Structure 1
Amino acid sequence: MASLWSAYLFAALIAPTLAAGARLGVGLSPDAVRLAPETGLPVAIHLAPELALPTPLPAQVDRLVAESLAPVIQGLRAETGLSSRLLWENAGGHLFWTLRTIARESPERAAEAAEALQSLRWPREACAALTLMRADALAGLEAPRRRLCCLRHGLPGFSKCEGVCPLLRPSGEGRLSEATSSS
């Protein structure tokens, strides 16, 4: 359940923040995201013109990773016991999807989205977790593959994720077992 919740949280943190930042050409402060106390999910982004500075997309991504994603992942790791690799892959899937969507829907930002993908400066614990996903994103694959299962198939009504779940890959493609996802 915690893994699925983190995926929803990352989707809500990453996509609106970067999409708004790319559209406006400004870096949004992580403080701009307002969370609902009852769910912990983002409900609004506060856009204050006096606080937003013109910022290229790669710098926006770096700031989002350093000031929002890394601290959230550290906190979730401490509270849930989920592996940092699993949490970074949950975040990475949304980040790579968002950059691809920005490039497709805002052609004037496509070069910046590609640059952001090329120049990602991940925290050390994220590098190993996101190597395969980043390589897939750079290769233009629609859905970057995971190395660890996100575990959502263990919840009622969910199945394994076609195209990205390592449990569906033939052995020999370097998949890691489900058991390692909690280490």
Structure 2
Amino acid sequence: MVLLLFVDLDPQLAALGSLGGFFVLRTGVPPHGTLPTLAQAYTAAPGDAHEDVRADPMTFRVQKITHALRAPESRIAVSVAQQALAARLWSIALGAAALYGQLPDLDPRLLRWDPDGSTPDDLWLSEVRALPVTDLDEVVRAGHLAPLAAALRSRYRVSPGLLWGNAGSALAGAVRGLDRWAAANGRTDVSERTRALAAGLLAHPDLAGTLAPRTLRRRSCCLYYRLPGGGLCGDCCFDRPPRLAPGRS
């Protein structure tokens, strides 16, 4: 039997700071101007967002990544953008569940996002409200990843299997990050609680089958190998980069 050691859910979510950059969640009002909420990012009408981040935050983010990575296809940048945001959301939620025994309410209307920022994605929670750990799936998968996938698929040629594979991979990455922290800090309770929570999340039909059960190796490709100089991710389904057809980047 493992004794679970929790701390109170504090207004600054300070305990998450020890876990690393993907787990940190800033709270309050962003100091550098008004940022769009993730709710706005999921529902904005598609358009050319070169000039105004707030007009269409998701398109702005994909365009920024496309140019930064010299992506030959927009769907590669879509994949990178979606997986990075999924990694942030899973990490915050799992980290809070493991350390606090509660979740901060990550309602998309409360989370402000800087689509012009670097990785890890810059997120701000305007109000800290506690939710039970049993709401984890509803908060992240249903509350964020489903509307995010719908928004991206409505405007880009990207498959649901790729997006949910990214979500599963991002969840596994958060688990590995918490495992490393738990091992370094003698907190086997954190590791065991995290793995139990992740197993429940991966049982949902959206995520079931996205990862190999024993190794957590993904069963779909995120397309990163198609970038100039890109290789295989650590959990890639391929053993070597596939050969591209002549004329394809």
When normalised by structure 2's length, the TM-score is 0.53
Question: Which residue of structure 2 lines up, in the alignment, with residue 174 of structure 1?
Answer: none
For residues 43-122 of structure 1, what are the structure 2 equivalents within 5 Å? Answer: 43-46=122-125, 48-49=127-128, 51-53=129-131, 55-56=132-133, 59-106=135-182, 107-120=188-201
Q: Is the 8 A contact 1:73 1:84 kept in 2?
A: yes
- TM-aligned CA deviation for residue 88 of structure 1: 0.8
- TM-aligned CA deviation for residue 21 of structure 1: 4.1
CA distance in 2, matches of 1:19, 1:73: 23
CA distance in 2, matches of 1:47, 1:99: 26
Matched, 1:33 2:114: no
Question: Which residue of structure 2 lines up, in the alignment, with residue 159 of structure 1?
Answer: 231
RMSD over equivalenced CA pairs, Å: 3.2
Deviations 1:114-133 (A, max 9, x none): 221332265534434x1xx1
Which structure: greater helix fraction? 1
Question: Which residue of structure 1 lines up, in the alignment, with residue 84 of structure 2?
Answer: 8
Report the secondary structure of 1:82's partner residue: coil
Identity of aligned residues (%): 26
User: Which deviates more from structure 2 when the two are superposed, residues 70-79 or residues 107-116?
Assistant: 107-116
Unaligned runs of 5+ in 2: 1-76, 183-187
CA distance in 2, matches of 1:95, 1:2: 18
Answer with 1 or 2: which has the greater Rg: 2
Report the secondary structure of 2:123's partner residue: strand
Distance change >3 Å, CA 13–CA 158, structure 1 → 2: same
CA distance in 2, matches of 1:161, 1:46: 30
Paired residues, number: 161
Distance change >3 Å, CA 119–CA 16, structure 1 → 2: closer
Amino acid of the residue matched to residue 85 of structure 1?
G
CA distance in 1, matches of 2:126, 2:99: 13
Q: Is the 8 A contact 1:10 1:91 kept in 2?
A: yes
Unaligned runs of 5+ in 1: 170-176
Amino acid of the residue matched to residue 205 of structure 2?
R
